[in-house]
Amino acid sequence: MEQEFDNYVKNYNLNNNQIKSKYDHSYRVMKLNVKYAKKLKFNEENIKIAKIIGLLHDIGRFEQYKKFKIYNDKNTIDHADYSVDILFNQNQIQNFNVPSKYYKVIEFAVKNHNKLKISQTDDAQKLKHARLIRDTDKIDILNVFASEVKNLDTKDKISDKVIQSIKKHEIVNRNDCQNPNDQLASYFAFVFDINNSVCLKEFKQNLKLLYEKLENKEIFQKIYNIVLDYINERMITC
């Protein structure tokens, strides 16, 4: 499957840092998905499905960047929906040697990995894979910002809607983000959508690295404390 993925990505310019970043992200999330699927005691079949979802969840990102030269769903297209379109409407999934019996689970997880909430379903398998990819995707996004991105924060005040969402222990709606600090604060709020408590330790470590990197920590201190208290309480009870 990895070779087929590499063959697909060869259609894009891997010398471009933006393309390369999504290529690397896809492999890291694949590994995280397998890691936590094992920790959650998924059976071998579901570990295999988790690996596929992890690698392919952002496949629409490559074409998104090629078309729009930016990774911004708000101003372009929903990249998860586009990933589903590429995989299942354009039948790219057939190039990855994936058994067709896995298609519906993969489609549901990929489509829901970036949404504000997971779509309603009574299918337990779909739900656990959607929850897992949402968790591992967030862990890696936070890690990238903590370790690779420079000049993260500004002196902008965090918007009231963003603060209120965090106080309510809610994930931040991207449409409420009005400045770079709002966007950063939304990453802090990712924790309120970490579905599997086993993922919290790594999320907390990445959040600490991110917070320590900020130049204007005082702007983020209150929301950082809210998030830490939430994490610590969940870790005690898990």
CATH number at 64 reads 1.10.3210
pLDDT for the residue 161: 96
Q: CB of 33 within 8 A of CB of 54?
A: yes
pLDDT for the residue 85: 96
Q: CB of 36 within 8 A of CB of 136?
A: yes
HSE (side-chain half, CA atoms, 13 Å) at 137: 24
Residue 107, token pair as written in the block: 């489609």
- Tally of structural domains, the chain: 2
pLDDT for the residue 132: 98
Residue 202 sits in the same domain as residue 225: yes
What's the domain range around 198?
153-238
**This prediction's pTM:** 0.92
pLDDT digits (tens, 9 = 90+) for 63-87: 888 988 988 877 888 899 999 999 9
CA distance 226 to 213: 18
Q: Which residue has the tokens 């690996």?
A: 51
pLDDT digits (tens, 9 = 90+) for 144-180: 988 877 778 899 999 999 999 999 999 998 889 999 9
Average pLDDT, stretch 223-232?
96
pLDDT for the residue 98: 94
Q: Which residue has the tokens 């074409």?
A: 63
Strand extents, DSSP E, the chain: none
Residue 120 sits in the same domain as residue 213: no
Residue 30 sits in the same domain as residue 91: yes
pLDDT for the residue 75: 83
CA distance 61 to 76: 11
Q: Which of 171-175, 206-210, 216-220 has the lowest mean pLDDT?
A: 171-175
Residue 44 sits in the same domain as residue 115: yes
52: three-class secondary structure by DSSP = helix
Task: Give CA angle at 100 (12, 86), nearest 5°.
Answer: 30
pLDDT digits (tens, 9 = 90+) for 171-204: 998 889 999 999 999 999 999 999 999 999 999 9
Residue 115 sits in the same domain as residue 160: no
Average pLDDT, stretch 216-225?
96
pLDDT for the residue 152: 83
Report whether pLDDT(116) > 80.
Answer: yes
Average pLDDT, stretch 202-231?
95
